[in-house]
A and B are shown apart, each in its own frame.
Chain A
Amino acid sequence: MEAEAAKLIGAGLAAIALAGAGVGIGHIFGSYLQGALRNPAAAQSQFPNLLLGFALAEATGLFGLVVALIILFVF
């Protein structure tokens, strides 16, 4: 296989990382809603933690992007 083609395939494969990020973000917001509906009084105090979890989960997907960029541009 040509190196250029393998590069493009590898960069595409790196996008699979988004599956994990999607599961993570969905899980965080789903769990927050479950908890918030059970105990609405405590929901507001946990909102910063929700945002923190969202940002951390989103970042893992972006690590996949970094891998794709390294494959495309560095090698």
Chain B
Amino acid sequence: MATQSGEPGGGEGGLAIDPMHQFEIKRLINLKFGGLDASFTNASLWMVIIVAAVALLLLSGSSKMIPGRLQSVGELAYEFIANMMRDILGESGRAFFPFVFTLFMFILAANMLGMIPYSFTVTSHIIVTFGLAATVFLGATVIGFIRHGAGYLKLFVPSGVPVVLLPLLVVIETISYFTRPISLSVRLFANMMAGHTMLKVFAGFVVAMGVLGGWIPLAFMVALTGLEILVAFLQAYVFAVLTCIYLNDAINMHH
């Protein structure tokens, strides 16, 4: 992969399509504050588009008693997340609904808009997903310490285990707690990046196999695109569910 180069976007034939080219960050407007590079890139542009798209979906038009199609989609998304939070967090989690709903809609819109050909998937960059996951992790930890004080540290001590095993288990629990933001961010990033790379590789096969043979990978492409749309939704859902589970640990403390 590293040695491949060629015309991005295809058309030249052969396997010269670089599947990693789609993730390239380009500066659109150069901005510098001292030594800080705050350029407006294509990633920033797509984040603006995502926020605008979600705002258009949820805020546009007057809300009616009998909802139209767009309003139905918005209400479906609202109830979907509200039900999920009620199942996991109970009534105590109501205060966090705006946060989780915003997170879900942002990731869902980012994943879905990324499925449009020639668009840019912001969630296929680990720094974006790590930013989101670190916010969740730090927020949950701070909430846990505010609600329970030093008692929150009991989260690392599982109850009902033999004392002999306790030192080992505390270490394991601590490590698993601190790897949460990494696994949360890598899960979303790897799914989006692997999916888009796979689609590009198969698109390369379509070009390489010509007019007669190219239909076989094209049929695969259609099926894979369907799978990727499912994954795009699932990963947004999983991110929201795991956020709720971490918040539940912080608020209700299961151990």
Enumerate chain A interface residues (CB-CB to B < 8 A): 48, 51-52, 54-56, 58-59, 62-63, 65-66, 72-73
B194 contacts A65, CB within 8 Å?
yes
CB–CB B191/A62 < 8 A? yes
Asked whether B180 is an interface residue with its Cβ less than 8 Å from the other chain, the reply is: no
What is the bound-complex CA distance between A41 and B84, given in angstroms? 20
Across the two chains, which residue of chain A brings its CB closest to B230? A51
Give the contacting residue for B2; candidates A55, A62, A65, A72; CB below 8 A: A72
| A65–B186 CA distance with the chains assembled, in angstroms | 11
Chain B: minimal CB distance from A38 (Å): 23
B235-A63 in contact (CB<8A): no
Q: Is the CB of A55 within 8 A of B194?
A: no
9 closest A-B pairs by beta carbon, nearest first, are A62-B190, A59-B187, A55-B238, A55-B234, A66-B190, A65-B194, A62-B194, A51-B234, A62-B191
Q: Which residue of A lies closest to B87 (CB)?
A: A48
Residues A58 and B191 in contact, CB atoms below 8 Å apart: yes
What's the tally of chain B residues with a CB closer than 8 Å to chain A?
16
Chain B residues positioned under 8 Å from A58 (CB to CB): 191, 231
Please tell me which one of the listed residues A52, A54, A66, A72 contacts residue B1 in the complex, with CB atoms under 8 A apart: A72
B192 to chain A minimum Cβ distance, whole angstroms, is 10
Contacting residue for A56 out of B2, B189, B238, CB 8 A: B238
Closest B residue to A66 using CB positions: B190
Question: Are the CB atoms of A52 and B190 closer together than 8 Å?
Answer: no
Q: Using Cβ atoms and an 8 Å threshold, which residues of chain A touch B194? A: 62, 65
CB-nearest residue of chain A relative to B191? A62
CB-CB < 8 A to A66: which residues of B? Answer: 186, 189-190
Q: Are B2 and A73 in contact (CB under 8 A)?
A: yes
Which of B1, B183, B189, B235 sits near A55, CB closer than 8 Å? B235
Q: How far is the CB of B95 from chain A (nearest CB, A)?
A: 23
CB-nearest residue of chain A to B233:
A51
Looking at the assembled complex, report how far the CB atom of B20 sits from the nearest CB atom of chain A, in whole angstroms: 9
Inter-chain contacts of B190 with A (CB < 8 A): 59, 62-63, 65-66
Q: List 6 A-B contacts (CB under 8 A).
A: A52-B238, A55-B234, A56-B238, A58-B231, A62-B186, A63-B186
Which residues in A have their C-beta under 8 angstroms from that of B2? 72-73
B175 → chain A, closest Cβ, in Å?
Answer: 16
Query: Does B241 touch A at the CB level, under 8 Å?
Result: yes
Taking each of B2, B183, B190, which has the highest tally of chain A beta carbons within 10 Å of its own beta carbon?
Answer: B190
Shortest Cβ distance from B255 into chain A, in angstroms?
Answer: 21
Residues B179-231 near A (CB distance < 8 A): 183, 186-187, 189-191, 194, 231
Tell whether B237 is near chain A: CB-to-CB under 8 Å. yes
